[in-house]
């Protein structure tokens, strides 16, 4: 398969899954100590992880979770935040300014921090009470911390079964990438030069939809995108879709699926450039039917890795290039 | 001033402000009865009102507010929702399907509903325990219900002073429109044919930024827009801005203003089509300095009314036209 290092992929994912031990120690200790509420604070990509988990947490937990944009949190404050809050942060590079500022603010208030970072000696690792360090485990970090918390709170009894299945996921995601490759290549070749793409998602797929449009296509490929929640779509954005507008729907398998069905039923009536990527199209060996919805975003991320590889080739635009990000001061 | 009926504008706004009596009766009764949490449930435009209020509520209140997309709420559920929740809804037309479904779901659970609608005999009015009926008061509805609640909870002691000043706002907003007209006209004439506009906002201005881009420019004028939070902007979207991209910043006066300053400092270095609309540019007669930030979105809405009037003329596109919305079934 074009530009795919299966061995390296498996190593990355298997290595990333290993963060669970450290996460369990941290979460168990803080659950035992007790907290009033849990703050997920991030910026850019890390807030899209929060968006991904929000519907699941709402549906399954009575824990008082609060999502915050780091810079706004520091400037505007949150009256429910206190030393009795538990804070989850993530900064892969370890020095994202907004997140580091928030971490310093949190420490001053005396709240505890469990944080993911790839940089062992970066500011993030130093500011966290429990630094969770791994080069590639960001996605699994959120699974591990949030589901552990729900498990301890008697809100996720499937914990052991779920994570046993997750341990086999790296191989399954290789299968997904192989199965998705042709469709991903066709999409990239056909649509790489479109003036704009509309990306639509709902439920636990909304965070990844937003992330792929912003953190990959805008940031890495300088492609114009707008991400739209499947529910908002019918209250404004639909009006500017016409025959020649590229619209992409990311379908997952959680309870929000009827919202994506509605988009899928409507868009082809007015648009001839409509593409649906659906996690249901992939076998997911080793994953029980009841867990498929939980990991839909992980599956779609794998599908998108193939889109990204083929876009990079079709656009002749290496994905490492940045015009401004971390090149200019602002 | 072009296409402006001052008398009708004043009548609308003064009429809308009158909803406060009904709102106070409803909120006072429910506060006395007691509730565990407060759900703001909406779709499209009404969720942007929730977005507008979220930073203020976070900063000022310990009441457990929860924002929900109506369709997702019904499909995915929320474990914190119960008969002891208090629900705020809004459907101007009175029959928005997603909101009506949510209202029926809420009633079945036995929670109370305070709802804004313009339609006295529509489904929304029938489903609400406290229907708040007014042809144009949607924006003031949110001020009234939320600040009344905070006032009763001893979290907004400025209540009487603030609303006394708000009673004089209609005339002040006329002044804003007159002061903003020339800039709005210039913007509309210069940029009406741009292939896409990026709208940026933060804090309590983010909801209106999102709303104007989606509910007015996309829905009414079929203009391509993307709204970006000033904090997310630096984590992806900035990469596709170049000299010839239209970027519009909506600046308000709440605590998030430094986030907008950061955008204002950066964008002109890379972009020659940058427009800033700033509520600070308007006198706001009768409004105390400490309240200016609270009403920034209301002021910007008035500025945008002038942009809308001039876009309608420049595009020769009456704003009542819809291609699909409420014309096709979906």
Buried b / exposed e over A265-292, threshold 16 CB at 10 Å, is: ebbeebbebbbbbbbeebebeebeeebb
pLDDT of residue B137: 85
Average pLDDT, chain A: 97
Q: Which CATH architecture has domain B6-166?
A: 3-Layer(aba) Sandwich (3.40)
| CA–CA distance, A172 with B323 (Å, rounded to integer) | 43
**Which contacts qualify for A6-15: CB closer than 8 Å, 24 or more apart?**
A6/A174, A9/A170, A9/A173, A9/A174, A9/A177, A10/A170, A10/A171, A10/A174, A12/A135, A12/A136, A13/A136, A13/A169, A13/A170, A13/A173, A14/A170, A15/A134, A15/A135, A15/A136, A15/A137
Residue A49, sorted as left (phi over 0), alpha (psi -120 to 50) or beta, turns out to be alpha
| CA–CA distance, B263 with A305 (Å, rounded to integer) | 31
Q: A265 to chain B nearest CA, in Å? A: 8
pLDDT of residue A118: 95
pLDDT of residue B107: 97
Residue from the list A44, A62, A231 with its beta carbon closest to the beta carbon of B232: A44
Chain A residues in contact with B255 (beta carbon < 8 A): 75-77
Burial of B284 (0-12, 13-18, 19+ CB in 10 A): buried
| CA–CA distance, A17 with A2 (Å, rounded to integer) | 26
| CA–CA distance, A152 with A323 (Å, rounded to integer) | 45
**Interchain pair A44, B224: CB under 8 A:** no
Length of chain B: 330
| CA–CA distance, B166 with A41 (Å, rounded to integer) | 34
pLDDT of residue A329: 87
Q: Please give the helix or strand (H or E) that residue B114 lies within, else none.
A: strand B112-117
Residue from the list A231, A232, A262 with its beta carbon closest to the beta carbon of B214: A232
Q: Quick: pLDDT tens for A289-323.
A: 999 999 999 999 999 999 999 999 999 999 999 99
Q: Please give the helix or strand (H or E) that residue A69 lies within, else none.
A: strand A65-69
Q: Quick: pLDDT tens for A16-46.
A: 999 999 999 999 999 999 999 999 999 999 9
pLDDT of residue B49: 96
pLDDT of residue A137: 85
| CA–CA distance, A322 with A311 (Å, rounded to integer) | 16
Q: Is the pLDDT of residue A197 over 90?
A: yes
3-state secondary structure of A251: strand
Q: A16 to chain B nearest CA, in Å? A: 24
> For residues A288 and A249, is the Cβ–Cβ distance under 8 A?
no
Chain A residues in contact with B68 (beta carbon < 8 A): 58
Q: A325 to chain B nearest CA, in Å? A: 7
Q: Quick: pLDDT tens for A66-105.
A: 999 999 999 999 999 999 999 999 999 999 999 999 999 9
| CA–CA distance, B60 with A76 (Å, rounded to integer) | 10
What whole-number percentage of chain A has pLDDT above 70?
A: 100
pLDDT of residue B154: 98
How many residue contacts between A and B have a Cβ separation below 8 Å?
179
Q: What is the CA radius of gyration of chain B?
A: 20
pLDDT of residue B330: 84
A40 phi and psi angles, rounded to 5 deg: -105, 110
pLDDT of residue A108: 97
Q: B164 to chain A nearest CA, in Å? A: 26
Give the CA angle between residues A163, A167, A169 to the nearest 5°: 110
| CA–CA distance, B36 with A158 (Å, rounded to integer) | 29
- Which of the residues in chain B have pLDDT under 50? none
| CA–CA distance, A109 with A81 (Å, rounded to integer) | 9
| CA–CA distance, B184 with A213 (Å, rounded to integer) | 31
Q: A19 to chain B nearest CA, in Å? A: 26
pLDDT of residue A74: 98
3-state secondary structure of B67: strand
Buried b / exposed e over A24-41, threshold 16 CB at 10 Å, is: bebbeebbeeebebbbbb
| CA–CA distance, A261 with A265 (Å, rounded to integer) | 6
| CA–CA distance, A178 with A255 (Å, rounded to integer) | 27
Q: Quick: pLDDT tens for A107-139.
A: 999 999 999 999 999 999 999 999 999 988 888
Cβ-Cβ contacts under 8 Å for A270 (sequence gap 6 or more): A238, A241, A242, A243, B323, B324
**Interchain pair B76, A219: CB under 8 A:** no
> For residues B187 and B304, is the Cβ–Cβ distance under 8 A?
no
Q: Could you tell me which of A291, A201, A288, A190 has the C-alpha nearest to residue A251? A: A201
B312 phi and psi angles, rounded to 5 deg: -55, -40
Of the candidate CATH numbers 3.40.50.300, 3.40.50.10490, 3.30.70.270, 3.60.150.10, the domain formed by B169-315 belongs to 3.40.50.10490
| CA–CA distance, B200 with A129 (Å, rounded to integer) | 35
Chain A residues in contact with B214 (beta carbon < 8 A): 232, 235-237
pLDDT of residue B140: 93
- Sorting pLDDT into bands at 50, 70 and 90, what band is A330? confident
**Interchain pair B79, A64: CB under 8 A:** no
The DSSP-derived string for B246-259 is EEEEEE-SSTTHHH
| CA–CA distance, B32 with B309 (Å, rounded to integer) | 44
**Interchain pair A60, B79: CB under 8 A:** yes
The DSSP-derived string for B127-185 is H-SEEEE-SS-HHHHHHHHHHHHHHHTTS-TTHHHHHHHHTTHHHHHHHHHHHHHHHHH
Residue from the list A98, A214, A270 with its beta carbon closest to the beta carbon of B231: A98
Cβ-Cβ contacts under 8 Å for A185 (sequence gap 6 or more): A2, A306, A310
Q: Fold identical between A6-166 and A169-315?
A: yes
Mutate to test the interface with A, among B49, B90, B101, B235 (most CBs of A within 10 A): B235
Q: Where are the domains of chain B?
A: 6-166, 169-315
3-state secondary structure of A303: helix
């Amino acid at each position: 398969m074009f530009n795919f290092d299966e061995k390296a992929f498996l190593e990355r994912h298997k290595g990333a899954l290993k963060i669970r031990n450290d996460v369990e120690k941290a979460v168990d200790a803080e659950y035992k100590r007790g907290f009033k509420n849990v703050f997920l604070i991030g910026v850019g990509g890390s807030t899209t992880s929060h968006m991904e988990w929000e519907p699941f947490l709402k549906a399954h937990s009575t824990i008082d979770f609060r999502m915050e944009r780091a810079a706004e949190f520091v400037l505007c404050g949150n009256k429910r935040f206190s030393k009795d809050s538990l804070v989850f942060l993530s900064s892969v590079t370890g020095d994202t300014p907004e997140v580091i500022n928030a971490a310093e603010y949190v420490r001053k208030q005396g709240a505890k921090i469990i944080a993911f970072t790839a940089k062992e000696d970066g500011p993030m690792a130093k500011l966290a009470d429990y630094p969770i360090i791994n080069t590639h485990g960001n996605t699994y970090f959120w699974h591990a911390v949030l589901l552990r918390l729900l498990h301890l709170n008697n809100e996720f009894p499937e914990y052991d079964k779920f994570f046993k299945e997750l341990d086999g996921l790296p191989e399954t995601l290789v299968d997904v990438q192989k199965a998705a490759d042709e469709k991903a290549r066709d999409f990239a070749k056909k649509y790489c030069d479109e003036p704009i793409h509309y990306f639509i998602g709902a439920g636990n797929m909304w965070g990844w939809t937003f992330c792929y449009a912003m953190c990959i296509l805008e940031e890495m490929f300088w492609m114009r995108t707008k991400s739209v929640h499947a529910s908002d779509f019918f209250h404004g954005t639909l009006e500017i879709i016409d025959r020649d507008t590229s619209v992409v729907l990311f379908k997952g398998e959680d309870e929000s699926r009827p919202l994506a069905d509605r988009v899928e039923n409507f868009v082809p009536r007015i648009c001839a450039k409509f593409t649906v990527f659906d996690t249901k199209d992939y076998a997911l060996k080793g994953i029980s039917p009841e867990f498929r919805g939980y990991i839909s975003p992980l599956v779609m991320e794998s599908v998108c890795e193939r889109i990204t590889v083929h876009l990079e080739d079709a656009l002749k635009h290496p994905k490492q290039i940045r015009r401004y990000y971390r090149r200019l001061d602002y």
